[in-house]
Structure 1
Amino acid sequence: MLAPNQPLTESEVAAIKRDFPILQQEVNGQPLAYLDSGATAERPRQVLDAERRFLEHDNAAVHRGAHTLAALSTDAYEDARATVAGFVGASSPSEVVWTANATDALNLVAYGIANASRGRGGAAAERFRIGPGDEVLVTEAEHHANLVPWQELAALTGATLRWVPVADDGTWTAEDAVSRITEHTRIVAFAHVSNVTGMVAPVAAVVAAARAHGALVVLDACQSAPHRPLDVQELGVDFAAFSGHKMLGPNGIGVLWGRGELLDALPPFRTGGSMITTVTMESSEYMPAPERFEAGTQPVSQAVALAEAVRYLQAIGMERVRAHEEHLARRMLDGLAAVPGIRVVGPPAGVPRSGLVSFDVDGVHAHDVSQYLDAQGIAVRSGHHCAQPLHRRLGLVATSRASTYVYTTEQDVDRFLTAVGEVRGYFGAAS
């Protein structure tokens, strides 16, 4: 038996890949090499079947009926919550809030704090109040989903938004962040793993500095939850957000994890049915977490499917998922280093990084790179990856990004490297 931190074997990856119907096809006459999992992951048959099975047999409104299907649906919905809670190391399923996606989850926190700062939520919410003189700290490398909500919070409350600058390779260090956390810092928000550079953030050092100054820590876990073990208690953060579609699950569902005492005190910003205990014509009283944040009809079948995706990943083992992707990233980086005119952004060789690699081809636009690879059945991302400030700092309009997952093979990576090696010659950019 292989150790739990060993990369997947060739036969194991082949077996996994057979679980994904979409990966069995050809694109432009070539076998599909899907290297865009950082944008959205494909779904295994087990996840597709779980959602279909629920819709065919158990579907009903949750927490709203006394009939059999309502009970079955509610049980499946809450069982899914418990599964996800266990996956991230939550102390209770009530710390898991269903959202539409990670962007929605991050907005939930930002606008909840904005409501608290306007006096909503009573005495319990005073711990979230911020205003002029207070600071929110992010990094220059953030996805827009973990930047724009904090810009809005600063604009609504009069707080000041500050950021940790990045180096020429797009990375930042613990010292870069810690030196900017002061007695004025109320919130520190950053990505666990960068969606552009693949950098793994120094969470422990940042959390320790934030704790010393009484600041909340909000973690964007979109690129970590699908790809490596995630234990929110061990990390010590206050909130963490991620999306289902990036981790073999369906679109339309995300997760906000928060410490129970914080969720119960945070005012909701989306209101309506299902999240209240009492409503009069004058006012309403809200349920405790997580229901206080789940207004309206919820993505029930999506929650069921996400739980199945979690079980699929757990069966592989998250340490092995990480080891597999890091192995492929090293293979990719070594290959790109041998191609003239390639600039890779992100941590230098030997520094831990995720299984995604962003790069620039000298003289060729990222969209042209993507289209050339697509003609050979290879799917990669091109653009600014919802990180315009980072690309501006790097002096680039766009980059190409290849991202791996559990179904990515060494052959996929080798085909990618061969095609990238041909790009400059094809477009007449080779010296």
Structure 2
Amino acid sequence: MTAVLDNSCASFATVSGADLQVPLVNGSTCTYANFDYAASAPALAHVTERIADLLPYYSSVHRGAGYASRVSTAAYEKARVTVSNFVGAQSDAVVIFTRNTTDSLNLLAGCVPGDTVVLDIEHHANLLPWNDRRVVVAAESIAETLVSIEAELAAKPAALLAVTGASNVTGEVLPIDELAALAHRYGARILVDGAQLVPHRRVDIEALGVDYLAFSGHKLYAPHGAGVLVGKRDWLDAAEPYLAGGGAVRHVGLDHAEWAPVPARHEAGTPNVLGVVALAAACEALEHFEVAGSVDHERRLSDRLRDGLTAVPGVDVLTVWNDSPDSVGIVTFSVDGFGPGEIAAYLSAEHGIGVRDGKFCAHPLLARLGHADGAVRASLGLGSSDADVDRLIGAIETLVADGPSWTYEEENGWWNPIPDPRPFPELAGGAAGVGSPCATQTVSIAS
């Protein structure tokens, strides 16, 4: 496990796809510049190595007597301890493995014995699952937003305050310790959606006073389909199992079932052993990289990107608050005269740059910020470099000064270069036809 400390031409860590060559519409190729970490991060080398080590032993867990099954079971349960230690879980907390953050939040939503207070800035995964939700509209400052949250909690009892740790639209980080103290003052617990925060900042939930934390492996450099819910046992033990099936029970009769306690209670079926072990390996790597200076590296690149884009005429960089003390590596922007899908298609087809365009599963927030039709999100990670940042800024400067050199058209929400001569590899079915959603490496404006 190695880290590049302060080389302006290099990334901080080795990730999959770092040397990927992609075709451009002019017939040339270039190295792919990945600015879509906030959606799904590439795999760290440490993660792929761990998976390669485990694959020969891969087997079903918990009830197998074979040697491979015992090894897989031990690796699965060791991962639970690794994740618990990584997030500083309390001694009475439990780690439940899920598919992703959305799965974790939906699981917890079925366990909450009362109302949930949320902000209007939330990702849909932390807005839609709560059955009895009360929405607080974020103010222009974090300080004013805290006042609004307190007023809502004081007006009527709530069981849970559910907040994002860092906005998936702007990257702005919330004061989790203050929010936790506020929730507890009024008898509520706090859930933190850590999907964007955990990959970028170390989160110690015991020190912060957090009751529940959810996050995803695919944003944590472990794209193998595992997620985490960690927190207090009592609500989770009292609730009906999230899924009914094998592994979640102690005994089954034809007319009754005796459910197991957590974590087994909410982990029915054959678990994603490889995904869970990959996620734990990513936690180990991130702990190492933090010590080596990864946070400072990301902050420097983020500042470079924000400053560079802000200096381009007609570019608007989105923010929620005017007093945010910290932001993770997410910069969302618009360009006067160009739609977000057209910008994303242009960056991909002419510059080999991958960004995300749309509403980022945060429709209410984008509408309130004046971007109901969406924006462009550039997100950074351990594989990002100064050269990547400068390349993106330069591409936007060229777009503003000269416009695109190719023609782009929108069809069914997808923007495509017309024509699109770029071939696809065989694993993706060969050549992509014009109008294919795959042809632009962008997402639908509705996402």
- The 5-angstrom pairing of residues 61-210 of structure 1 reads 61-92=60-91, 95-113=94-112, 128=113, 130=114, 135-150=115-130, 153-154=131-132, 161-167=133-139, 173-182=145-154, 183-210=156-183
Which of 22, 37, 62 aligns to 2:17? It is: 22
What corresponds to 1:38 in structure 2? Answer: 38
1:423 matched to 2:399: yes
Contact kept in structure 1, 2:20 and 2:32, CA below 8 Å? yes
User: What is the 5 A alignment of 1:356-395?
Assistant: 356-374=330-348, 375-395=350-370
CA displacement 1:309-353 (0-9 Å, x = unmatched): 122212212683322212111111111121111111114487311
Q: Give runs of aligned pairs for residues 307-322 of structure 1, distance below 5 A.
A: 307-317=280-290, 320-322=293-295
Distance verdict in 2 for CA 1:12–1:334, change over 3 Å: closer
| 1:32-85 Cα distance to aligned partner (Å, 9 max, x none) | 211110111011233123213212x21111001122111111001111111111
Instruction: Describe the shift of the 1:359–1:41 C-alpha distance in structure 2 as closer, same or farther (beyond 3 A).
Output: same
Relative distance call for 1:173 and 1:325 in structure 2 (3 A) is farther
Q: 8 Å contact 2:96–2:230 — kept in the other structure? A: yes
Q: Structure 1 residues 193-202 or 42-51, which shifts more?
A: 42-51
Change (3 A) 1:140 1:338: same
Aligned partners of 1:22 and 1:42 also within 8 Å:
yes
Q: Which position in structure 2 is the counterpart of 1:398?
A: 374
Looking at structure 2, the residues matched to 376 and 387 of structure 1 have their Cα atoms a distance apart, in angstroms, of: 27
1:224 aligns with 2:197: yes
CA distance in 1, matches of 2:12, 2:171: 27
Corresponding residue for 2:299?
Answer: 326
Of 166-175 and 209-218, deviating more is: 166-175
Residues 12-37 of structure 1, C-alpha deviations (whole Å, 9 max, x = no match): 94462xx3241112223122211110
Tell me the SS of whatever aligns to 2:159: strand
Alignment pair present for 1:52 and 2:47: no
Query: What do the CA deviations read for 1:229-273 (whole angstroms, capped 9, x no partner)?
Result: 111111212211000010110231000011234433343221110
Q: CA deviation at 1:169?
A: 8.9
> Which sections of structure 1, spanning at least 5 residues, go unmatched?
1-6, 114-127, 155-160
Question: In 2, Cα distance between the equivalents of 1:406 and 1:330?
Answer: 15
Whether the aligned pair in 2 keeps the contact of 1:44 and 1:248 (CA below 8 Å) is yes
Residue 444 of structure 2: aligned partner: none
> Residue type of the partner of 2:68?
L
Tell me the secondary structure at the aligned position of residue 313 of structure 2: coil
Structure 2: segments with no counterpart, 5+ residues: 405-447
2:47, 2:221 within 8 Å by CA — same for their partners in 1? yes
Residues 364 and 427, structure 1, Cα contact 8 Å, conserved in 2: no
1:184 Cα deviation from its structure 2 partner? 2.3
Q: Report what 1:253 is aligned to.
A: 226
Give distance in 2, aligned partners of 1:319 and 1:217. 31
Which range is displaced more, 34-43 or 254-263? 254-263
Tell me the equivalent position of 2:6.
9
Are the aligned partners of 1:216 and 1:238 in contact in 2 as well (CA < 8 Å)? yes
Root-mean-square deviation (CA), in Å?
A: 2.4
CA displacement at 1:416 relative to structure 2? 0.8
**For 2:323 and 2:333, how far apart are their aligned partners in 1?**
14
Cross-structure match for 2:439: none
Which residue identity lines up with residue 34 of structure 1 in the other structure? N
Return closer, same or farther for 1:349/1:163 CA change in 2, 3 Å cut-off: closer
1:293 & 1:171 partners in 2: Cα distance? 37
What is the DSSP-based 3-state SS (H/G/I as helix, E as strand, rest coil) of the residue aligned with 2:18?
A: helix
Secondary structure of the corresponding residue to residue 255 of structure 1: strand
> C-alpha separation between the residues in 1 aligned to 2:358 and 2:127?
18
Name the one with the larger helix percent. Answer: 1
**1:298 equivalent in structure 2:** 271
The whole-number CA distance in structure 2 between the counterparts of 1:263 and 1:327 is: 40
Describe the SS at the equivalent of 1:181: helix
Q: Aligned pairs, how many? A: 393
Give the 3-state SS of the residue equivalent to 2:110 in structure 1: helix
Q: Is the 8 A contact 2:111 2:236 kept in 1?
A: no
Q: Secondary structure at the match of 1:273?
A: coil
* 1:51 aligned counterpart, secondary structure: helix
- Cα distance change on mapping 1:145 and 1:252 into 2, 3 Å: same
Higher deviation after alignment, 19-28 or 216-225: 19-28
Identity %: 37
Secondary structure of the residue aligned to 1:179 is helix
Residue identity opposite 1:389 in structure 2: P
**Pairing 1:271–2:247 present:** no
SS at match of 2:269: coil
Q: Does the CA contact (< 8 Å) of 1:229 and 1:318 recur in 2?
A: no
Match in the other structure for 2:313: 340
Q: Kindly indicate whether the alpha-carbon contact (under 8 Å) linking 1:137 and 1:163 is maintained by their aligned counterparts in 2.
A: yes
Note closer, same or farther for the CA distance 1:193–1:336 as it changes in structure 2 (3 Å cut). Answer: same
- Whichever residue aligns with residue 102 of structure 2, its letter is T
| 1:351 partnered with 2:343 | no
TM-score (norm 1): 0.86
**CA 1:349/1:211 → structure 2, altered by over 3 Å: closer, same or farther?**
closer
Contact 1:268 1:293 survives alignment (8 Å): yes
Tell which deviates more after alignment, 208-217 or 77-86: 208-217
CA contact (8 A) 2:8 2:385 kept: no
Taking structure 1 as reference, are residues 168 and 398 closer, same or farther at Cα in structure 2, changes over 3 Å only?
farther
Distance in 1 between residues matched to 2:296 and 2:67, nearest whole Å: 44
8 A Cα contact 2:141 2:323, kept in partner:
no
